[in-house]
Amino acid sequence: MPRTITCPYCGARFEVPETVTIAVCPYCGTTVWASTGEVFREHYMFDVRIEYNRAFDNVRMLAQRQFAAPDDIYERASPEAGRLHFIPLYLYHVSVRAECPGNPEAGLEEEYAALVATRRLPEGLDEEYRFAVRGRKFFEPAKIERGIYYQPDLDAKELLPKATERARMKALREASEECDNPKLVDESKWLGIVHYPFWEVIYKYEERRFRGIVDATDGTVVYLEYPIGGRERGVLLAMSAGLLLLSALIGAAIGSAVGSTIYGGAGGLVAGIAGSIPSFRLGAARVGRYRLRSRLERNG
């Protein structure tokens, strides 16, 4: 059964599942303890530093650089819509040391870490994305622009080992240079929730709509859909066919040299199929996709 909460900031009433411990008001973004309705004090935020027009510009600049995208996409792409997604993160202070006899700080790691606090993310946003933690400030509902607020639905304590994993491994590795069996001491703790903004950019090219996800604090394009040009699709398919033919001919030539033209040709064809799959898939598709791989976490 869902429970009804009255927001102490704006007075709105909203429902959350019974399993939710910390709830976010969908109208003003205030975070409260679901059991009592009291404001959750350790709630931080990041300002929206990148406005929508700049987020769209970053999207079309990246689209222009993608292989097989139309040459005129930067000039002809037009903004269709944009909305902010405020993603909840759990913020941790990571403090780990590995002790050796006579040296209690043979391995010492101290940093901040932020992990996604929800299972529900907009398509294209990777939960392994490394979020900045420097620049956060205490949450002020009145200063946050209206957007989509996501409820934290993961357990902060259960995620603590994941937040400290890298630091623990590094501390043990450093201490192992001094002693064989270092003792690990982990004093890491959960600090609170951070709401982190992303733009969802919808843009149009030749009457078709495409999406992009942009970090609203620094403008990094995390995810991008872009059109594959008709001429470019033809080139890619021709490249795939050429690679298949070339592989078969090379395989046949090698097979002929060792007395088995048929098997050589078949082997070359198989290798050609494997090598041509990426270009064939891209050529057959009308939409290309770019995903930013996880960045190194920025601490502060």
Digit-by-digit pLDDT tens for the chain (300 residues) are 678 889 888 888 988 877 777 888 888 878 888 888 888 888 888 989 999 999 999 999 999 998 888 889 999 999 999 999 999 999 999 999 999 999 999 999 999 999 999 988 998 888 888 887 788 888 877 776 678 888 888 888 899 999 999 999 999 999 999 999 999 999 999 999 999 999 999 999 988 999 999 999 999 999 999 998 655 555 555 555 555 455 545 545 555 554 555 544 444 444 444 444 454 444 445 788 899 875 433 333
Instruction: Compute and round to an integer the Cα radius of gyration of the chain.
Output: 26
Q: Which domain holds residue 279?
A: 231-284
Residues 149 and 92 in one domain: yes
Residues 151 and 235 grouped into a single domain: no
Are 51 and 112 contained in the same domain? yes
CA angle 90, 95, 98 (to 5 degrees): 140
Domain for residue 299, yes or no?
A: no
- CA–CA–CA angle 126, 128, 132 (5° rounding): 100
- E strand or H helix at 240, and its extent? helix 230-257
Query: Is residue 297 included in any domain, yes or no?
Result: no
Q: Are residues 49 and 137 in the same domain?
A: yes
Q: Are 244 and 274 in the same domain? A: yes
Distance CA 150, CA 76 (A): 33
Q: Answer whether residue 109 is part of any domain.
A: yes
Within-domain flag for 92 = yes
Q: Do 196 and 49 fall within a single domain?
A: yes
User: Does residue 248 belong to any structural domain of this protein?
Assistant: yes
Q: What is the DSSP letter of 275?
A: H
In one letter, which amino acid is 295?
Answer: R
Helices (H) and strands (E) in the chain, counts: 5, 14
- Output the pTM of the full model: 0.73
Residues 8, 56, single domain; the answer is: no
- Smallest Cα–Cα separation from 185: which of 246, 113, 105? 105
Distance CA 107, CA 92 (A): 19
Let me know whether 194 and 50 are in one domain.
yes
The pLDDT of residue 243 is: 53
In a domain, 296, yes or no: no
Q: Verify that 23 and 130 share a domain, yes or no.
A: no
Nearby residues of 193 by Cβ (< 8 Å), 6 or more positions away: 22, 31, 40, 42, 43, 44, 88, 89, 90, 91, 117, 152
Residues 71, 216, single domain; the answer is yes
Do 178 and 30 lie in one domain? The reply is no
Q: What is the pLDDT of residue 265?
A: 45
Cα 267 from Cα 172, distance rounded (Å): 48
CA dihedral 233, 278, 65, 51 (to 10 degrees): 110
In this prediction, residue 153 carries a pLDDT of 84
Distance CA 165, CA 271 (A): 40
With respect to residue 3, please indicate whether it lies within any of the assigned structural domains. Answer: yes
Per the domain annotation, does 298 fall within a domain? no
Number of domains in the chain: 3
Whether 214 and 127 share a structural domain: yes
